[in-house]
């Protein structure tokens, strides 16, 4: 039966939402085990309700590798997550992203040619292959994961960055960490590496904007990337909360800048933030520094606690929010009609090397 999505879209807003929901639910039930929907914690409530598995980046990578029987994996998240799912899934599985424009601006702050150039420039100052290990945050293109795979390196997420860095330092003296400077700095600092042994790498400047001495001193080269959603949280937000409520517990994502992480009570991945809230006693008061959809959901799901955004203005991820109920319905309708739309495919040669780096991560964490 051909479902008439376009016709449904012209109906009244609430009728439209309920039609889209029933359309998705029907197709989901018709496709049964052939379909798995994965949803990141930053997705909107109306979308994530359909996810078979929810998670942070690490869990979703593991889930994608595990659901070997599904023919289709619909990824409600951003592009690098769908690429990771494609790399870790079986060759005959198709990964679909409801909006192919849902990229991650942080992931786009490093590209393969700039990283190769950085590697070559570092190579003029030190023995890169013997001394430096490249580690990419999972928020990066498959091409960068492949670069890490080819040079002995690995991938990390916000929940395993410390164990992956420890793994890296067992192998080489220094790490080139891209693209998120904040996760790299916060993690290395927590491991006891002093700030003087970290060098910020600006890809548009010779030697990344460093002198030779600073590079020789550095144990971590931090790519100059950042997440605009998390960089909006400032130390003043933490201090304002503490003045208002001395008992407040502040928890933030490690993509926040160091000054914010240092002032917070705790920092952790989206899964860690959820876990900490879930295991806290009723009456706990929280100010949470991460994407607003997740904070709002925690607020509604934990009425026994008092949960608020760290900043007065909630911080939404524009690209995560590109995945809407309507776009999910469109890819699902395609599947019901035997059509694969919005497929994310990583070329075989890139996937092969990227898989090496991802598997090293999965083993190290
Ligand atoms: P998590 O791995 O903590 O879910 O983070 C993903 C992300 O994009 C955070 O901005
Ligand atoms: Fe990328 Fe930041 Fe959005 Fe996460 S919150 S997907 S890092 S832009």
* Three state DSSP letters for 163-193: HHHHHHHHHCCEEEEECEHHHHHHHHHHCCC
Ligand 2 pocket member 251 (CB < 6 A): no
Q: What is the pTM of this model?
A: 0.95
Contact in structure between 208 and 200 (CB atoms under 8 Å): yes
C-alpha 224/C-alpha 230 separation (Å) is: 15
Ligand 2 pocket member 139 (CB < 6 A): yes
Closest CA to 143 of 356, 346, 363, 362: 346
* Token code pair at residue 186: 């916060």
Distance 271 CA to ligand 2 centre (A): 15
Of all atoms in ligand 2, which is nearest to the CA of residue 180? 7
**Ligand 1 binding residues, C-beta < 6 A:** 41, 56-57, 139, 157-158, 227, 253, 255, 269-270
Ligand nearest to the CA of 102: 2
> What strands, in cross-sheet order, belong to the sheet with 306-309?
266-267, 249-252, 285-289, 306-309
* Token code pair at residue 159: 């929940």
Name the percent of the chain in helix, strand, coil, to the closest 5: 50, 15, 35
Closest CA to 344 of 361, 362, 315, 323: 323
pLDDT for the residue numbered 9: 56
pLDDT for the residue numbered 8: 60
The DSSP code for 159 is T
Structural domains of the chain sorted by starting position, each given as residue range(s) with its CATH number in brackets:
2-103+320-345 (3.40.50.10800), 107-228 (3.40.50.10800), 233-309 (3.40.50.10800)
Residue of 38, 42, 77 with the most ligand 1 atoms within 8 Å of its CB, for mutation: 42
Q: Count of CB atoms within 10 A of residue 154's CB?
A: 28
pLDDT for the residue numbered 1: 47
pLDDT for the residue numbered 11: 67
Distance 227 CA to ligand 2 centre (A): 6
Q: Count of CB atoms within 10 A of residue 275's CB?
A: 12
Of all atoms in ligand 2, which is nearest to the CA of residue 255? 7
Ligand 2 pocket member 256 (CB < 6 A): no
Distance 56 CA to ligand 1 centre (A): 6
Q: 16-25 b/e with 16+ CB inside 10 Å = b?
A: beebbbebbe
- Could you say which residues of the chain have pLDDT below 70? 1-11
Nearest residue by C-alpha to atom 1 in ligand 1? 56
Closest CA to 170 of 190, 154, 150, 146: 154
Distance 327 CA to ligand 1 centre (A): 22
C-alpha 262/C-alpha 280 separation (Å) is: 21
Distance 159 CA to ligand 2 centre (A): 15
Nearest residue by C-alpha to atom 4 in ligand 1? 56
Contact in structure between 344 and 86 (CB atoms under 8 Å): yes
Ligand 2 pocket member 227 (CB < 6 A): yes
Distance 3 CA to ligand 1 centre (A): 35
Distance 253 CA to ligand 1 centre (A): 8
């Amino acid at each position: 039966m051909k479902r008439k999505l376009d016709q449904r879209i012209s109906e009244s807003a609430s009728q439209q939402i309920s039609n889209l929901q029933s359309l998705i639910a029907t197709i989901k039930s018709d496709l049964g085990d052939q379909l798995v929907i994965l949803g990141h914690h930053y997705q909107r409530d109306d979308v994530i309700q359909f996810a078979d598995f929810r998670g942070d980046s690490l869990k979703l990578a593991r889930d994608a590798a595990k659901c070997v029987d599904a023919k289709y994996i619909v990824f409600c998240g951003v592009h690098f997550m769908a690429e990771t799912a494609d790399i870790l899934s079986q060759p005959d599985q198709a990964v679909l992203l409801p909006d192919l424009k849902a990229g991650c601006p942080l992931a786009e702050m490093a590209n393969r040619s700039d990283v190769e150039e950085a590697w070559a420039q570092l190579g003029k100052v030190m023995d890169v292959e013997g001394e430096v290990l490249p580690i990419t945050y999972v928020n990066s293109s498959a091409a960068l994961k492949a670069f890490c795979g080819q040079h002995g390196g690995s991938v990390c997420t916000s929940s395993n960055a410390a164990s992956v860095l420890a793994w890296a330092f067992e192998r080489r003296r220094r790490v080139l960490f891209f693209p998120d400077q904040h996760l790299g700095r916060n993690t290395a600092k927590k491991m006891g590496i002093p700030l003087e042994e970290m060098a910020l790498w600006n890809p548009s400047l010779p030697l990344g904007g460093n002198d030779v001495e600073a590079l020789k001193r550095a144990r971590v080269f931090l790519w100059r990337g950042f997440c605009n959603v998390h960089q909006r949280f400032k130390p003043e937000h933490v201090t304002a909360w503490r003045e208002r409520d001395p008992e407040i517990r502040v928890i933030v994502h490690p993509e926040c800048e160091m000054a914010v992480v240092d002032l917070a009570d705790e920092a952790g991945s989206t899964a860690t933030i959820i876990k900490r809230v879930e295991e806290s006693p009723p009456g706990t008061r929280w100010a949470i520094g991460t994407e607003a959809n997740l904070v709002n959901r925690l607020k509604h799901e934990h009425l026994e606690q008092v949960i608020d955004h760290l900043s007065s203005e909630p911080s939404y991820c524009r690209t995560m929010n590109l995945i809407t109920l309507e776009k999910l319905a469109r890819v699902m309708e395609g599947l019901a009609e035997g059509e694969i739309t919005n497929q994310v495919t990583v070329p075989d040669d890139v996937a092969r090397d990227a898989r090496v780096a991802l598997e090293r991560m999965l083993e190290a964490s």
